[in-house]
């Protein structure tokens, strides 16, 4: 099995090495303030054998920290209340740093260890930073993060607690993104910026393998719908990548419907899908994001073009929810199922609540619960009508 990067736009191949991020000719067409061009996907030449998730770094390089294999479970009370026997929660709050981001950090760390990388650097709205800091600590890899000063305090404390270096950016995530890229270009440190580093998409595909496996174990049949809280569109692309792998390996017969669940105040991918700015520029100029769901608040969705192409190719959907719908969904998921999720993840539940009438109640709907509610107590307190 020979692994390589392949440009999703022009098919050019590249070696999988730490300094390779985008496809050179395609990245040259990059417009300012638009999603990244020249996103690379990981590909293999000869189909892997066996049941393990095929990944481009050998198992021996992964650090000693238990990422992934999170529970997929049936919220019985919610199933009864909404007459939805096919409702499932994929609880990625159980990852070591409390978020789905650990899946990507884990693979990036494995590549870094394999190649003797000296430092990993990234920008983050909070969870990617706390995640890379945690996985970096397990791996013994120095981590430097550029974090907007407004990031929730729990995420900042996690970064420091895990021993990473924190650069507080007096600005938005988008500004932190650009600053961290400047730094990695200058120093040669490995960038874990989401979408930009192709392994951030690849690392997240493991969730699709787990969903497929666990539904089979439960004799529940195939996955019909996946609800994905979406900001930059990297989790969305990772979910697609995993199911694409499963299709290629002949383990599933069809692609599930993937739903991009976005907040009203940060809905660039939904707009590009449902109401494009123009045919040649579906995203148009960025709109400043404003939502209680910080993890899905982005002005420019970095993986927007790539995610949009996947949604179009496979008949994916988008659903947009308001902050009050998100906070109501957060309370409902906590009190109705016992799962306290952060606002971004609650947007997946809010999205499902919004469209469930259009779906057959027999279909398997998997909600990706991507981050723990304890990461942003202030938002949850607002939802409860408390002052903090
Ligand atoms: C990052 C994040 C998301 C959104 O992922 P994107 O790849 O930016 O679309 C959703 N939920 C949580 C908890 C996150 O940390």
CA of residue 233 to ligand 1 center, whole Å: 8
Question: Which ligand 1 atom lies nearest to the CA of residue 126?
Answer: 15
pLDDT digits over 163-219, tens only? 999 999 999 888 999 999 999 999 999 999 999 999 999 999 999 999 999 999 999
pLDDT digits over 221-235, tens only? 999 999 999 999 999
pLDDT digits over 244-300, tens only? 999 999 999 999 999 999 999 999 999 999 999 999 999 999 999 999 999 999 999
User: Cβ(234) to ligand 1 under 6 A?
Assistant: yes
Q: Is residue 51 part of a domain?
A: no
Q: Is residue 333 part of a domain?
A: yes
Q: Hey, CA dihedral for 137, 139, 142, 145, is it positive or negative?
A: negative
Q: What is the pLDDT of residue 338?
A: 98
Q: What is the pLDDT of residue 174?
A: 83
**Structural domain harbouring 278:** 72-99+201-384
pLDDT digits over 51-70, tens only? 789 999 999 999 999 999 99
Question: Which residue in 184, 185, 150 sits closest to 168, CA to CA?
Answer: 150
User: Cβ(93) to ligand 1 under 6 A?
Assistant: no
User: Cβ(262) to ligand 1 under 6 A?
Assistant: no
Q: Is residue 374 part of a domain?
A: yes
Q: What is the pLDDT of residue 1?
A: 59
pLDDT-based confidence at residue 388 (cuts at 50, 70, 90): low
CA of residue 142 to ligand 1 center, whole Å: 23
Q: Is residue 256 part of a domain?
A: yes
Hey, what are 312's tokens?
């179009």
* CATH number (domain holding residue 95): 3.40.50.1100
User: Cβ(371) to ligand 1 under 6 A?
Assistant: yes
Residue pointed to by tokens 């709109």: 287
Q: Is residue 16 part of a domain?
A: no
Question: Which residue in 317, 290, 371, 287 sits closest to 101, CA to CA?
Answer: 371
pLDDT(14) > 70: yes
User: Cβ(344) to ligand 1 under 6 A?
Assistant: yes
pTM value is: 0.98
Q: What is the pLDDT of residue 289?
A: 94
Higher pLDDT, 88 or 173: 88
pLDDT digits over 118-137, tens only? 999 999 989 999 999 999 99
CA of residue 45 to ligand 1 center, whole Å: 30
Question: Which ligand 1 atom lies nearest to the CA of residue 375?
Answer: 13
Structural domain count, the chain: 1
User: Cβ(197) to ligand 1 under 6 A?
Assistant: no
Q: What is the pLDDT of residue 49?
A: 85
Q: Is residue 233 part of a domain?
A: yes
Q: Is residue 112 part of a domain?
A: no
pLDDT(342) > 70: yes
Hey, what are 278's tokens?
């123009």
Q: Is residue 284 part of a domain?
A: yes
């Amino acid at each position: 099995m020979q692994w390589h990067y392949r440009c999703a736009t022009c098919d050019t191949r590249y070696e999988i090495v730490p300094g390779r991020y985008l496809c050179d000719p395609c990245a040259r067409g990059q417009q300012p303030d638009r999603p990244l061009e020249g996103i690379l996907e990981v590909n293999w030449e000869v189909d892997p054998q066996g049941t393990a998730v095929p990944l481009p770094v050998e198992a021996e390089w992964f650090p000693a920290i238990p990422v992934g294999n999170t529970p997929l479970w049936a919220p019985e009370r919610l199933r009864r209340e909404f007459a939805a026997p096919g409702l499932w929660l994929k609880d990625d709050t159980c990852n070591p740093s409390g978020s789905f981001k650990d899946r990507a950090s884990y693979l990036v760390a494995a590549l870094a260890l394999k190649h003797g990388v000296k430092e990993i650097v990234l920008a983050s709205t909070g969870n990617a930073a706390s995640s890379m800091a945690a996985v970096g600590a397990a791996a013994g890899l120095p981590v430097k993060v550029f974090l907007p000063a407004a990031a929730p305090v729990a995420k900042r404390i996690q970064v420091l607690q895990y021993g990473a270096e924190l650069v507080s950016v007096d600005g938005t995530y988008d500004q932190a993104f650009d600053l961290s890229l400047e730094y990695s270009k200058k120093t040669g440190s490995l960038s874990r910026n989401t979408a930009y580093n192709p392994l951030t998409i690849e690392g997240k595909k493991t969730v699709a393998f787990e969903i497929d496996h666990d539904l089979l174990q439960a004799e529940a049949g195939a996955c019909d719908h996946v609800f994905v809280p979406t900001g930059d569109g990297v989790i969305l692309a990772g979910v697609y990548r995993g199911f694409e792998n499963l299709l290629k390996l002949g383990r599933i017969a069809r692609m599930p419907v993937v739903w991009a669940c976005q907040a009203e105040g940060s809905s660039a991918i939904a707009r590009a899908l449902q109401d494009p700015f123009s045919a040649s520029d579906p995203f148009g100029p960025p709109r400043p994001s404003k939502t209680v769901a910080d993890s899905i608040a982005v002005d420019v969705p970095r993986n927007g073009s790539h995610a949009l192409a996947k949604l179009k190719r496979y008949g994916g959907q988008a659903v947009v929810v308001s902050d009050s719908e998100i906070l109501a969904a957060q309370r409902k998921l906590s009190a109705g199922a016992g799962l306290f999720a952060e606002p971004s993840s609650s947007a997946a539940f809010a999205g499902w609540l919004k469209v469930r009438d259009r779906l057959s109640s027999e279909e398997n709907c998997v909600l990706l619960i991507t981050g723990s509610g304890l990461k942003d107590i202030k938002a949850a307190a607002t939802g409860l009508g408390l002052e903090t």
